[in-house]
Amino acid sequence: MSRARAPRRHLTAAVTVALAVTVGTLTAVPAAVASTGTAVVAEAQQGEVPALLPDSFIGGNGPSGFLSRHYTAAEGMQYRWTRYADGVTTTLLPTGTYAGSVGSDVVVRYEGTRYELYDMATGADPVVIDTKALGTGFTFARLAGSTLVLSVPRPDGGTDIHLVSKPDGTLVDRTVSGVPASASFTYYDLSSPDTLILHYAPAGSSARRVALVDVATAKVLEDRVLTGNLYGAEASASATRLAWAEKDDTTTAALRVARRGQDESTRVPLGWGSPLTVDLLGDDWVTYSVTGGTKQYSSNPLHALTARSLTDGRTVKLLDTVDRVRGDSDGGLFVQGATVEHGEGVYRIAVGPDGTPAATLVASTGRSLVLTVTDQSVPETVDVSRLIGTVRLEWRFSGLPSALVTVELTHTASGRSKTLSASPDQTGRVLLGWNGEFDHGISAYNGDYTWRMTAKPANGIGPTIERTGALKVVGKPAPHSFSDSSSPDLLYRYGGRLYRYDARQVFGFGQGNPLTEVTIGSGWDAYDQIVTPGNIGSTEHADLITRDKTGVLWSYAGTGRPTAPFATRVKVGGGWGVYNKLTAGSDLNGDGRPDLLATDRTGVLWLYKGTGSATTPFSARVKLGGGWGVYNKIVATGNIGGGPAGDLVARDTAGVLWLYLGKGDGTFAARTRIGSGWNRYADVVAIGDANRDGRPDLLANGLMGGRDDSLAFYPGTGDWHAPFGARMNILTPSELTWQGHTLF
């Protein structure tokens, strides 16, 4: 694209211009004058080119300036005339409606049947035209130079096109001749102020035709059918040619160019796109573009304004995006659009001395076509264990295009990642919420992370933005987590192998994600008891206690590595075969370390207090009492009742579940019945806080005997009267069955 060159003009101060206004008239002058009526303010915009308010619509353009309109809820519709020479912008009288022409400095203001035509270049008194004599029901179509184009209904049906002007104070009303009286007019276009392009369909015909009308004489100069399926009313005329846009049944766009007065035409396929605008640039070039490319969410080469030579077929890219194209003086074009180099504004397109078209920036909105990061907010540390809702990651952008913003968070040690995406809102803000999970609903691990933000223009125009950084997840590992996360994991044994699943993923908090299974190893059928006590050793990670079939107790220290969560086993001691039930995970004496409970075959409950030592994790046993033989399962739950220490639930042979609140001295308060029907479950697991509400939860596995293939989740309430909420069924995905599995 040719470099757009702006005139080197600097305005050193804002200038206030008062325009003389009387009732029903407005006189525009290029300098400050006395005003006897209401003042209309004009401000000189500083800079190399005149300023254009963002989101303005160009409604007229001439040799000395252009008309724009801009709407805000606070001020309503405002119309402005901006001069090229010095950038002075005049805010027009805020009553009535304004319209401009193509290639003319004349602007019309109209209310009802009264039309006032202002020559914005000379500041002459307005020409006033009253159209009452035309009757009622007429429609203002557009302004052609200083001529009103009016659509007037005929008494006997049909429509007449009137060209109304007032040269030298004499009202002239000419009716366009040469178009069928029954024609149905669809659009009124101008390529220059002298030639009106009427789009119409004859009565009873589906053919689309255009009539080229000489504005001075109101006579049809040429009338022809437009071939192909049309894109709206896109047609353009020069002194020797007519061009229009068409499409085939697959919406493939094409140019169609014909010589004036000749039936033959040339078709040039372009590609896919709608709406396609086509305009002749002099007699030797034609331009085309799919308008609205700034706001598109797909890339298309037709978003660019391209000029094609009608003599040798070469092409020249002029602008990167286009909103609208208008004819200009001397056969040029006046285009609202943008370039990567100069941003958004209006550009004048003209053929240079070398015969090649070039774009010159005429007025600028100050908005860039290139995305730019103006602000960002990413936390340096995140405590997922205390996460309520999501972690806020925020960026702000300037620039015109919509964008596809993607953020990838990657755990440095494991390589697991989470991808988030969104588009900026109307203010350019992107707010992403990270829920503390990787992709597929897996709980995020603690440790160092890198993040990469990529902002890609949705329309493919301009460079992609990348920003990188780091953050740290510092949440405390959960007592039932074997992957160094703040959420629990689920262990299960099947066929001698031990497996790990992320509990939140299994429970459906990452609904619809494929389950991610980690095989810890084989040979685990050598143990008849597996207990998950939490952190009993010197590390911060959850450990494992097992008992083999000879009665030897073993300790597996937690490593925090998701794929290898346990170190080599360490022998704790023998003689543990006297116990038929083991459980651990509650701090019963308030020293901050989990303790172990065991019942022997005579029904006596024994307490082994945690020591915090990896080699000797428990002190000598303490007898708590007898009568525990009535229970077939005991589960240390952690603090579920809101008391001073960890608690215990026990299920009797009738399926009743009982709560034993810890008193903080290693003993329990009297039992409280909390439910019945629990004999349906083969396994009951104190899973920890799986739903991130700060309270330990309970997990149960299927019906005893394998007749139920779903898990049951009981959320903790924190109320010892009813410590668990209603059962939530966790439906097992088709690729996994819990039958024959033992859960820990």
Instruction: Please state the φ and ψ torsions of residue 301, each to the nearest 5 degrees.
Output: -60, -25
pLDDT level of residue 39 (50, 70, 90 thresholds): very low
pLDDT attached to residue 739: 61
Nearest-angstrom CA–CA distance, 543 and 621: 20
Q: Are 687 and 699 in contact, with CB atoms under 8 Å apart?
A: yes
- pTM for this entry: 0.78
pLDDT level of residue 11 (50, 70, 90 thresholds): very low
Give, in degrees to the nearest 5, the angle at Cα 652 between 647 and 655. 105
Q: 736: how many CB neighbours lie within 10 A of its CB? A: 14
pLDDT attached to residue 33: 25
Structure tokens at 561: 């590595």
Beta-carbon contacts of residue 47 (< 8 Å; ≥ 6 apart):
10, 11, 87, 364
pLDDT level of residue 736 (50, 70, 90 thresholds): low
Q: Which of 727, 720, 722, 719 is nearest to 681 (CA)?
A: 727
Nearest-angstrom CA–CA distance, 416 and 170: 81
Better pLDDT: 451 or 133: 451
Peptide bond into 424 cis (omega under 30): no
Structure tokens at 579: 């116990």
Q: What average pLDDT does this structure show over 336-352?
A: 95
Nearest-angstrom CA–CA distance, 20 and 36: 6
Beta bridge pairs of residue 429: 396
Residue 419's identity, in one-letter code, is T
Nearest-angstrom CA–CA distance, 738 and 68: 70
pLDDT attached to residue 362: 94
Nearest-angstrom CA–CA distance, 213 and 211: 6
Mean pLDDT of all residues belonging to the chain: 86
Nearest-angstrom CA–CA distance, 124 and 103: 18
pLDDT surpasses 90 at 7: no
Stated as kind and residue range, the H or E segment containing 605 is: strand 605-608
Structure tokens at 672: 């409280």
Q: Are 364 and 47 in contact, with CB atoms under 8 Å apart?
A: yes
pLDDT attached to residue 568: 94
Nearest-angstrom CA–CA distance, 477 and 487: 7
pLDDT attached to residue 737: 58
Nearest-angstrom CA–CA distance, 350 and 346: 13
The 10s digit of each residue's pLDDT in 175-230 is 999 988 888 888 899 989 999 999 988 887 778 889 999 999 999 999 998 877 66
pLDDT level of residue 540 (50, 70, 90 thresholds): confident
Q: Are 684 and 698 in contact, with CB atoms under 8 Å apart?
A: yes
The β-bridge relationship of strands 381-382 and 465-473 is parallel
Nearest-angstrom CA–CA distance, 573 and 595: 16
- The string of DSSP codes covering 197-259 is EEEEE-TT----EEEEEETTTTEEEEEEEPPSEEEEEEEEE-SSEEEEEEE-TT-EEEEEEEE
pLDDT attached to residue 528: 95
pLDDT surpasses 60 at 28: no
Nearest-angstrom CA–CA distance, 523 and 556: 14
pLDDT surpasses 90 at 702: no
Q: What single DSSP character describes residue 550?
A: T
Q: What average pLDDT does this structure show over 249-267?
A: 87
The 10s digit of each residue's pLDDT in 421-452 is 999 998 999 999 998 889 888 889 999 999 99
List % helix, strand, coil for the chain (3-state, nearest 5): 5, 50, 45
pLDDT surpasses 70 at 47: no
Buried b (16+ CB within 10 A) or exposed e, 398-415: ebbbbbbbebbbbbeebe
pLDDT surpasses 80 at 19: no
Residue 603's identity, in one-letter code, is G
Q: What average pLDDT does this structure show over 343-369?
A: 95
- Residue written as token pair 């766009």: 253
Nearest-angstrom CA–CA distance, 517 and 544: 19
Q: What average pLDDT does this structure show over 466-470?
A: 97
Q: Strand ranges (DSSP E) for 84-194? A: 88-91, 97-100, 106-111, 114-119, 127-130, 139-144, 147-153, 159-165, 172-175, 184-192
pLDDT attached to residue 703: 57
Nearest-angstrom CA–CA distance, 221 and 506: 77
pLDDT attached to residue 329: 81
pLDDT level of residue 5 (50, 70, 90 thresholds): very low
Exposure of 182 in the CB half-sphere (CA atoms within 13 A)? 4
Nearest-angstrom CA–CA distance, 681 and 708: 9
pLDDT attached to residue 12: 24
Exposure of 435 in the CB half-sphere (CA atoms within 13 A)? 15
- Residue written as token pair 């805000």: 72
Q: Which of 20-29, 479-488, 594-603, 659-668 has the lowest mean pLDDT?
A: 20-29
Sign of the C-alpha dihedral computed for residues 684, 685, 691 and 693 taken in this order: positive
pLDDT attached to residue 154: 82
pLDDT attached to residue 738: 60
pLDDT surpasses 50 at 16: no
Q: Strand ranges (DSSP E) for 248-380? A: 252-259, 265-272, 276-281, 285-290, 305-309, 315-319, 321-327, 333-339, 343-351, 357-364, 372-377
pLDDT attached to residue 231: 58
Q: What average pLDDT does this structure show over 553-564?
A: 92
Instruction: Please state the φ and ψ torsions of residue 526, each to the nearest 5 degrees.
Output: -75, -15
Nearest-angstrom CA–CA distance, 517 and 656: 33
The 10s digit of each residue's pLDDT in 276-319 is 899 999 999 999 999 988 888 888 899 999 999 999 999 999 99
pLDDT surpasses 50 at 29: no
Q: Which of 15, 40, 18, 25 is nearest to 92 (CA)?
A: 40
Q: Are 532 and 744 in contact, with CB atoms under 8 Å apart?
A: yes
Q: What single DSSP character describes residue 503?
A: H
Nearest-angstrom CA–CA distance, 687 and 649: 13
pLDDT surpasses 90 at 400: no
pLDDT level of residue 233 (50, 70, 90 thresholds): low
Counting Cβ atoms within 10 Å, is residue 470 exposed (0-12), middle (13-18) or buried (19+)?
exposed
Nearest-angstrom CA–CA distance, 386 and 593: 21
Residue 231's identity, in one-letter code, is Y
What dihedral do alpha carbons 562, 568, 572, 576 form, nearest 10°? 80
Q: Which of 512, 518, 537 is nearest to 445 (CA)?
A: 518
pLDDT level of residue 513 (50, 70, 90 thresholds): low
